[in-house]
Amino acid sequence: MDKAPASRDVARGDAPTRGHLIGEGLAWTARWSLRFLIVIAGLTVVTLILIELWDVVFPVFLGLVIATIVEPPVTWLRRRRVPGALATALVLILGLAVLGGVVALIAPSVAGQAPQIAQGAVGGIQQIQGWLQGPPFNLGASQIGGYVQAAVERLQQSAGQIATGVLTGLTTVANSVINAVLALVLAFLFVKDGPKFLPWVRRTAGPTSGDHLAEMGARSWLRLGGFIRSQALIGFVDAVFIGVGLVIFGVPLALPLAVLTFFGAFIPIIGALVAGALAVLIALVVQGPATAIGVLILILVVQQVEGNLLQPLVQGRGLGLNSALVILAVTAGSSLAGIAGAFLAVPVAAVLAEILRYFGEQIDRRTGEHEDGAGDASSGEKAPGEKPTSVAGTTTVGPDEEPGDATADVPGDGTVRARSRGARDA
């Protein structure tokens, strides 16, 4: 129906004309452009819906992230015949107790060292005034005072906006508490009832579509869990070394800065940059330029060890995302939903990349592009002719097997078990 004139000419044995070839190329471009615009319109609608329902979507995403952390110890308890609900409740309560202990440990440190930081800030401002009065700026004390007075007047004029911002901040804190409680409840349900989810998807969607959806769900879960756990380990190692270094340098708030470094690891690249810059700034204000340079060198060394040794060792193939894509994802997430969006942007991008990777595998299976190849040795993927293997709990399949031909158990069981149902057209 959509056959190009050039193809008919070739079928008759005639050489296609230049006009026919150009028309065929334009028709192909028009068809794909229309499809691309439809896809973009669909993605835009989905994004707008997610933004409108963010108060519902965010606790769900956060609950899934918490579930990936809770699931391994719950699985360990289940294998020792502890009921699923009891195991999940025990792990969540223990996790909350640990988190509360960390907060209780940090609060006195912040309160006790705040005066020292305030005094250091005053001294830093005086140093800046001295630099401005000397070359090359050569600003007089009256000029600096005029700038300070202008800043004070600006703050006074903005007093109403500041008060409104404080009230907005209190509302945000209240919403954060509600979201956290809801996320914990959802995490409990996700982990407790997780093994029932993929079989339900398979039964509901049917034998073919259900298998594909179940396989994508299992892979996405494993990718998300692997990212969260590996970043937690990397963040813990970074926090320990940077925290010890800050203590050695005598920088105040070493423990809170170490904790901030740990949580910053969940926002790759950007989180480490912000946490490191804050540590250097506090060192500069309180201890002076020499200590700040030492802290900067410490952070750079730790980041190099993380990027070149620890991250490849822990993550293996990693996220499968280019660093530029990670930065763009964090930027887009933060612009749409602030800190929460920045925190969730990379896990969501990693899951989407895993789904696209699965689509690519299915396209390769149907086109037979890799039948003569041996697979990508660096990525650990098998050639389509090889037998299915289990990698990190997920299932890869051969060309004669349905990709989701599995009775899959996810969160709560921690494994994905595959049982071939024979050759079948996907």
pLDDT grade for 220, boundaries at 50, 70 and 90: confident
Highest mean pLDDT among 147-151, 265-269, 357-361, 366-370: 357-361
User: What mean pLDDT do residues 96-118 have?
Assistant: 77
Q: 10 Å Cβ neighbour count for 353?
A: 18
Least confident of 23-37, 198-212, 239-253: 198-212
Angle between helices 254-264 and 207-249 (to 10 degrees): 160
**For residue 316, pLDDT beyond 60:** no
Q: Is the pLDDT of residue 398 over 50?
A: no
34, two tokens: 């229309």
Q: How far apart are CA 187 and CA 60, in angstroms?
A: 8
User: Which one, of 203, 299, 211, lies nearest residue 251 by Cα?
Assistant: 299
- Model confidence at 98: pLDDT above 60: yes
For residue 86, what is the DSSP state? H
87: phi > 0 → left, psi -120 to 50 → alpha, else beta; which? alpha
DSSP letter assigned to residue 194: G
Show me where the domains of the chain are located.
Answer: 54-368+382-418
Range in 133-137, 351-355, 379-383 the model is least confident about: 379-383
Task: Find the length of the chain.
Answer: 426
Look-up of token digits 């689509």 = 359
What local confidence, expressed as pLDDT, does residue 142 receive?
Answer: 63
User: What's this model's pTM, rounded to 2 decimal places?
Assistant: 0.64
pLDDT for position 195: 80
With residue 206 as reference, give the H or E element that holds it: none
Q: CA-CA distance, 61 to 179, in Å (whole number)?
A: 11
Phi-psi label, residue 83: left if phi above 0, alpha if psi -120 to 50, beta otherwise: beta
Cα separation, 2 vs 221, whole angstroms: 41
**How many distinct helices (H) and strands (E) make up the chain?**
13, 4
Contact 208, 402 (CB under 8 A): yes
| Residue 391 confidence class, pLDDT cut points 50, 70, 90 | very low
| pLDDT at residue 413, as a whole number | 42
Q: pLDDT digits over 278-300, tens only?
A: 888 888 888 888 888 999 999 99
For residue 416, what pLDDT is reported? 41
Most confident among 11-20, 125-134, 189-198 (mean pLDDT): 189-198
pLDDT, mean of residues 51-73? 87
Is the model's pLDDT at 65 over the cut of 80?
Answer: yes
CB 365 within 8 A of CB 336: no
* Mean pLDDT, the chain, integer: 74
